[in-house]
Structure 1
């Protein structure tokens, strides 16, 4: 496919995040949003009218949308529909850009990866923070060997107050709470820097003291996911990962992300201020390398690359570019499968109140 061909896109799910996809596609030449599907009667048509997609078709069944001549689809449904819509799209020969988290369960994620491999179609997961150039700096430092043998990683983040509403806080629709919503970003940051080592076991604790309290959340009676979680994850290669996340807490921060190695350490803080900041769904604030120089304990600030990149737009642009050039998924499901395996392990361990092993048959 040449760069002059028009890329035909369908959007499945017409909630708030779908609007961001529309805005991103509109910045790319020779891209046409052909259709929108949403299971709620009339919602797809309302979305089309509200976003000015006058020529787009509206469907209530995503399978009807997938019968169209499309190059790719953006899947923007609630989490519980990620697996079914992705599998159907891949089976229909479409390239898929899926919003995070990848799925609700590990079994779903495994099925999605298997279908992508079997069909040869792209399954790319929407982790836009990867497009911050500072994430490349972090990964390059970790991968360069400057830290020596990396044996411990601490990642996660916390909002003093920052709990979403609606589909995010209902287990039947979201599958999980803070872990799936913002924790997946923290996991991707750490695991991507490490080269995505396989997770082996998880020992975790979760709670939802804030979400179920009417004083803190207007939908407390419907809130049945976790708003806080912490886990010790054993990774392949003898690495211990301390993972922690919170939507709400009586604290200003859960600390920086850290990589500890035998020859050095790396400390990273997120950018942003305010009650919804403090997590890895945005830009990098600072990077500091801790190491010894001529016998002296030394701290070396790593200059941050200041930029005005719209990270979300870059994610969508890269997806379209991969379609045009016939490239592999920019952020492949095979990687994010490990991310999902950890979240699945956290929820199982918390429920069972003991450490659980992570099994990835055939992976």
Structure 2
């Protein structure tokens, strides 16, 4: 297509197929290249996704020599850092799948590369495109709650443990924290305006993942399947964060924002083993406040938009590149939650509270 936006995809696993499907729905956008380190896999992906004009590469650096307007990075967590930095330094705008990185240092390096080159780095948190998330943000940021002093967020699956690259420490960096915990952190922190974290005291375990009765790859399970943390922020704010891939319980509860004037309660969406996390829609929402001297509860209508949130994420990236807009979900925001996850893992290992040192 003449004058079309040229997109490359690095990594050709399951999430890459979702990116390809979204790009194919956009007018004047063409996927021209796919890279994967496994020989033959990029060719298979191109054939399966019906991308006859796309070229296949085993080395993403060779792919980055092409003229590209943007790149989707869909590799395992451990290679997010090198591929993102390479793409940014090659002059490409980057849509990076969550979690941002394995370590805080890697996340900071990516942000530095984006700032130094002037190329966009946006992180793939599609739940932000649920209009209910905007409602939550508007309520919290309106001042309706007064001073927010305590937030509780997280999520828990009764059974919902992935395998493969998700459970290897060298490839994933972390388990439930990175896989689904990042969503609940972004939900809360974005509503709060991403405040500065100071300390974290945390506990993690993997009793289910390492038990053959619950996981078929128990002998290879190296990450946490449960975690809980208390995070202190500037301005006398605390956040309780809890996450679970598996547990003997139906839920770890709602997300709560407690303020001096009102409180907001957001229930998770869905039922079943793989529900209970903030990776898309929300359930019932309710505002707790006083009215005319009486304790009052006001239901917040849930918007059932029917939007394809993943498509909205990819479209926003593409249009931001086209229009020269800032990153929709900037890396210098998400590096803050990466610092929290890093602190959780350090605190759990040391069995004590640790300081969070932001790189900026």
Residue 159 of structure 1 corresponds to 157
Q: Distance in 2 between matches of 1:318 and 1:175?
A: 28
Q: TM-score, normalised by structure 2?
A: 0.99
1:237 offset after TM fit, Å? 1.6
1:5 offset after TM fit, Å? 3.6
Q: Distance in 2 between matches of 1:191 and 1:352?
A: 25
RMSD of the alignment, in Å? Answer: 0.8
Q: Identify which of 37, 42, 45 aligns with 2:43.
A: 45
Residue 334 of structure 2 corresponds to 336
Q: Distance in 2 between matches of 1:156 and 1:304?
A: 20
Residue 127 of structure 1 corresponds to 125
1:41 offset after TM fit, Å? 1.1
What stretches of structure 2 of length at least 5 have no aligned partner? none
Could you list the runs of 4 or more consecutive aligned residues of structure 1 that deviate by over 6 angstroms after TM superposition? none
Residue 249 of structure 1 corresponds to 247
Q: Give CA deviations for 1:140-177 in whole Å, capped at 9, x if unaligned.
A: 00000010000000000000000011100111100000
What stretches of structure 1 of length at least 5 have no aligned partner? none
Q: For 1:46-85, list aligned pairs within 5 A.
A: 46-85=44-83
Are 1:270 and 1:282, in contact at CA under 8 Å, matched by a contact in 2? no
Residue 184 of structure 2 corresponds to 186
Q: TM-score, normalised by structure 1?
A: 0.98
Q: For 1:88-237, list aligned pairs within 5 A.
A: 88-237=86-235
Q: Distance in 2 between matches of 1:298 and 1:158?
A: 29
1:244 offset after TM fit, Å? 0.2
1:87 offset after TM fit, Å? 0.3
1:29 offset after TM fit, Å? 0.3
Secondary structure at the residue paired with 1:221? helix
1:323 aligns with 2:321: yes
* Number of residue equivalences: 359
Secondary structure at the residue paired with 1:82? helix
Q: Distance in 2 between matches of 1:42 and 1:352?
A: 43
Residue 267 of structure 1 corresponds to 265
Q: Distance in 1 between matches of 2:299 and 2:228?
A: 29
Q: Distance in 2 between matches of 1:237 and 1:62?
A: 44
